[in-house]
């Protein structure tokens, strides 16, 4: 395990677990923490080749919160220029998570509010602990989401529900979040990271080039018309037929064996 002031990164084989480590402040996001997270994800994106490369990651929080929001003490003194700089840094972090070649699972172990909810929304999917709370309460402070929450939330749960959550600033519990499609599954707190790890291990056992291509196509296809998105899919599908992984996967299937994917 390697440790910075604010972020813990643990590698177990091809799985990385990133733990936001500011529990005395409920893991509130300040400029330093945002920068540390960005550096941690960048390092994972460029780590190793073949079997040493990261194939799936889990993002969670230390203590009782995932991320309880942005650091209000720091934000209270911001000028409009400083606030724009902070929002830009947060958006770059979220875009970087989305653009990673491997999936990231948010394991929401407690409060995921404001910037914390936005961070979870940038992950590929979200598992939540029983008792977790999620929301975008920025309007209760006289501001609004700035890390992309207005856009990612409406894409995940639909415009009407997203507007209701953003305009009221209300929090929702894990079970309600599950019903509305904000989270994928809810588990007892003691099982949360283990269940996320099970999913990460399953993903890591699949063809990494195929998973990366599927992630890329779904991300970019969401914002364009259906015909163009389907063409994007067809091109990515065809491109995988030039890979060793495609030959290995189909050979193993035909031979009733387990494939060994090398990511090439």
Q: Catalytic residues, which ones?
A: 118, 138
Of residues 98, 137, 123, 136, the one with CA closest to residue 183: 123
- Sheet containing strand 133-135, edge to edge, reads 65-67, 111-113, 133-135, 171-173
8 A C-beta contact, residue 66 and residue 20 = yes
Q: How far is CA 142 from the centre of its chain?
A: 27
Which residue is it, tokens 């590698």? Answer: 11
8 A C-beta contact, residue 203 and residue 123 = no
DSSP letter at 70 equals: B
Pairing of strands 185-187, 125-129: parallel
Q: Which two tokens stand for residue 45?
A: 């994106």
Indicate the burial class of 194 (C-beta count within 10 angstroms; 0-12, 13-18, 19 or more).
Answer: exposed
Please state, in angstroms and rounded to a whole number, the distance separating the CA atoms of residues 146 and 134: 16
Pairing of strands 133-135, 111-113: parallel
Of residues 191, 193, 175, the one with CA closest to residue 183: 175
């Amino acid at each position: 395990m390697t440790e910075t002031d604010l972020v813990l990164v643990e590698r177990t084989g091809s799985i990385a677990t990133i733990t936001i480590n500011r529990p005395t402040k409920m893991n509130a996001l300040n400029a330093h923490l945002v920068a540390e997270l960005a550096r941690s994800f960048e390092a994972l994106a460029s780590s190793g080749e073949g079997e040493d490369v990261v194939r799936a990651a889990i993002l969670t929080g230390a203590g009782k919160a995932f991320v309880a929001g942005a650091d209000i003490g720091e934000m209270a003194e911001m000028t409009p220029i400083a606030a724009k700089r902070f929002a830009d840094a947060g958006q770059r972090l979220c875009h970087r998570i989305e653009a990673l070649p491997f999936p990231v699972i948010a394991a929401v172990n407690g409060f995921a509010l404001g910037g914390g909810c936005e961070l979870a929304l940038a992950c590929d999917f979200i598992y939540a602990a029983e008792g977790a709370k999620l929301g975008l309460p920025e309007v209760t402070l006289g501001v609004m989401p700035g890390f992309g929450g207005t856009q990612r939330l409406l894409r995940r749960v639909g415009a009407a529900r997203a507007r209701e959550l953003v305009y009221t600033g209300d929090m929702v519990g894990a079970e309600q979040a599950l019903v509305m499609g904000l989270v994928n599954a809810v588990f007892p707190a003691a099982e949360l990271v283990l269940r996320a790890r099970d999913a990460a291990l399953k993903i890591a056992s699949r063809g990494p080039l195929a998973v990366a291509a599927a992630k890329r196509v779904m991300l970019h296809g969401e914002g364009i018309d259906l015909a163009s998105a389907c063409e994007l899919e067809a091109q990515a599908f065809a491109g995988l037929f030039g890979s060793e992984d495609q030959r290995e996967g189909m050979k193993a299937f035909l031979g009733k064996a387990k494939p060994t994917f090398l990511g090439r």
